[in-house]
Structure 1
């Protein structure tokens, strides 16, 4: 009888889960661009985020402007997001310079803790700088084209950790 009650409770819990609608993800500069690709990052059996890459041309190559939006499917602390950025740069063998440390500090002061349904969007502006947006609007900017390239490399580099997801983002699948 206990097993039957457990399954009934589990079924009710699953059926009551509401879908995540990330309406707070609307960023005008992102919305103006054309979709290149999208994917969902799953790590083991956890859905982490949905990712969408957009460019001015709708193609990965030969684009002057790039934007990446991550729609989170779970809660993640801002410090964990920044630490993961540093770990991915190290894994990609991106040189850890003083500038990289300053950029990581800037991200720590800029990024909020994300909750299920929140988005963080990075838009490359005309100067090649990274403008970040979150659920409450503009979070800040890092005025370095090198930062923008290094940051987006986490998802777009041929050496990205998640090859299938990278290929889906750049439209190679």
Structure 2
């Protein structure tokens, strides 16, 4: 398990809350790590600054990631097709194509949006405070399609 010193530099004082591996139809997709600051509370995750790291175990295009993200966000909440297109375009612009071994970190910035890092270096952002809670809800909302993954990511968070 990574140490506190492995926390994303953009999130000083963070600690590892949990890790999880996503498998889909028997294929390993990514290894995830959630980094939180003291006081983080899962029911109110949208109020907190935190980082979610995904270490990819397969290659994906930015379009594949953006499309799947919007599908998963729609499990969390309803939003218009126009909003979905806007957010999908913003994700395609903010994310890279990933290769096996790449790491994308999403930094949640309450009231601002999401900043993305590729292999620890700034890459892109989606500056929309309505987008961010739905995007991170893919992993942290009780309505996630992967409740066991959510539980593992939040394993070290105090109730």
TM over 0.5: yes
Structure 1 Cα separation of the partners of residues 10 and 40 of structure 2: 17
Question: Residue 124 of structure 1 contacts residue 130 of structure 1 at CA under 8 Å; is this kept in 2?
Answer: yes
1:145 is paired with a residue whose SS is: coil
Structure 1 Cα separation of the partners of residues 31 and 56 of structure 2: 7
Question: Residue 35 of structure 1 contacts residue 58 of structure 1 at CA under 8 Å; is this kept in 2?
Answer: no
Per-residue CA deviations over 1:59-114 (Å, capped at 9, x if unaligned) read: 44366312111100111111110110111122334313644422221111221111
The 5 Å alignment of 1:17-166 reads 27-30=8-11, 32-57=13-38, 59-61=40-42, 64-96=48-80, 98-125=82-109, 127-135=111-119, 137-166=121-150
Q: Structure 1, unaligned stretches of length 5 or more?
A: 1-24
Q: Structure 2, unaligned stretches of length 5 or more?
A: 1-5
Equivalent residues, number? 149
Q: TM-score normalized by structure 1? A: 0.75
Q: For the structure 1 residues 106 and 122, does the alpha-carbon distance in structure 2 shift closer, same or farther, using more than 3 Å as the test?
A: same
Moved runs in structure 1, 4+ residues, more than 4 A?
none
Structure 1 Cα separation of the partners of residues 105 and 20 of structure 2: 15
1:29 is paired with a residue whose SS is: coil
Structure 1 Cα separation of the partners of residues 25 and 61 of structure 2: 19
Q: TM-score normalized by structure 2? A: 0.81
Q: For the structure 1 residues 44 and 97, does the alpha-carbon distance in structure 2 shift closer, same or farther, using more than 3 Å as the test?
A: closer
